[in-house]
Amino acid sequence: MHLLLYISPVLKEFLLSLPPIVVDLPPIIGDSLLRTLAVTSYGTDLALQSPYRTSWFSQIALGGLSGSASPIALATLNLWSPSGWRFTSENLSPVTWDIYGPFVLSTIYVTLRGTHPAINNLSSFASAGIWGTKGTRYLNTDEARTVVSMIFATVVTLRRLGIYSFAFGKPVQVRTVGNDKKLR
């Protein structure tokens, strides 16, 4: 994106004349689709082909880790900070959707697919027998991936619009040197 802005001043003027959401929305949707692919195809589906396919935890953990690996690294090393990086556990507070969201989406994907009997029993119990019983069918890979990508795109768009942050935990309070004003 930055390369395009430096190459063409006309394109730069055009993009800067648009509202920010028009410029931000295509990368947001693209990011949610690519991270959905990471959670489903490169995480949960590969766990189903591994020797640990009988473990529901491995399905959810591999899906969540594949979708949240880069945000965890960025938050742990504080790479977004203008003051430079530092390695501390304080950087993971608050926990944002980028970190815990792929684990939630991986759980939804495993539930919709019906790939583990323990999860199937829980979904049948939680839905009072409406979902996951003998009369209902589970979704195939493409259908479940579509549902997960729609959920992911909706949450990320709501975050970008500022409607809801989907973060929990106490934000870190940073103080300036010689001043008691809070920066965050």
> Can you give the pLDDT at residue 133?
59
Which residues touch 41 (CB under 8 Å, ≥6 apart)? 145
Asked which of 14-23, 63-72, 88-97, 141-150 is least confident by mean pLDDT, the reply is 88-97
Are the CB atoms for 141 and 45 separated by under 8 Å? yes
User: What is the spatial distance between Cα 26 and Cα 9, in angstroms, rounded to a whole number?
Assistant: 21
What does the pLDDT look like over 113-126, one tens digit per residue?
A: 888 877 777 777 67
Instruction: Using the predicted structure, report yes or no on whether residue 148 has a pLDDT greater than 60.
Output: yes
Nearest to 57 by CA among 105, 123, 118: 118
- Greater model confidence, 182 or 81: 81
pLDDT in tens, 68-88: 888 888 777 877 777 777 776
* pLDDT for res 135: 60
Alpha helices in the chain (DSSP H): 2-7, 9-17, 20-39, 45-48, 56-76, 97-113, 117-126, 141-161
Please, which pLDDT band fits residue 164 given cuts at 50, 70 and 90?
confident
Lowest mean pLDDT among 10-14, 34-38, 53-57, 107-111: 10-14
Q: Do residues 107 and 148 touch, judged by C-beta distance below 8 A?
A: no
User: In terms of pLDDT, which residue wins out, 92 or 18?
Assistant: 18
Q: Which residue has the higher pLDDT, 149 or 163?
A: 149
What is the radius of gyration, based on Cα positions, of the chain?
Answer: 20
Of the candidates 175, 179, 178, 157, the residue with the CA atom closest to the CA atom of residue 166: 157
Q: Higher pLDDT residue, 144 or 131?
A: 144
Mean of the pLDDT values across residues 37-53? 89
The per-residue pLDDT for 171 is 58
CA 39, CA 44: separation in Å to the nearest integer? Answer: 6
Report pLDDT for 173. Answer: 55
Candidate from 69-73, 88-92, 166-170, 172-176 with smallest mean pLDDT: 172-176
